[in-house]
Amino acid sequence: MLLEFLNSKIHRATVTDSNLNYIGSITIDADILNAANIHEWQKVDILDINNGERFQTYVIKGISGSKMFCVNGAAARKVQKGDKIIICSYRYVTEDELEDYKPTIVQIDENNNMV
């Protein structure tokens, strides 16, 4: 049987921009994506700590070192620049994999640096 578990989490990133006139998605610094084991075009949940909004979108890879977290398209109405967000990805795990299973957690500081 397959069970759905947290694959990875980027915790307490600061929204650097929002672009209502873009097609959709969230753009995230490529270095942070790699550390979090999240791939471009992957579906993610976005949890806004400031206002409680929760929504799904997909990831676009941003420029390495940019520290960018830009929410695009219709989702831009759900966040504001400066909001703290959590980004979660998920995966399916077999029962045999559960014993040693641990998600990847990337903590982010006030300046969008990985800590």
Active site residues: 25, 58
Rounded to 5 degrees, what angle do the CA atoms 78, 34, 9 make?
45
Nearest to 8 by CA among 51, 53, 39, 41: 39
- Plot region of 107 (φ>0 → left; ψ -120 to 50 → alpha; else → beta): beta
What's the number of CA atoms in the CB half-sphere (13 Å) around residue 91? 15
SS3 at position 63: coil
The DSSP element (H or E) to which 13 belongs, if any, is strand 2-14
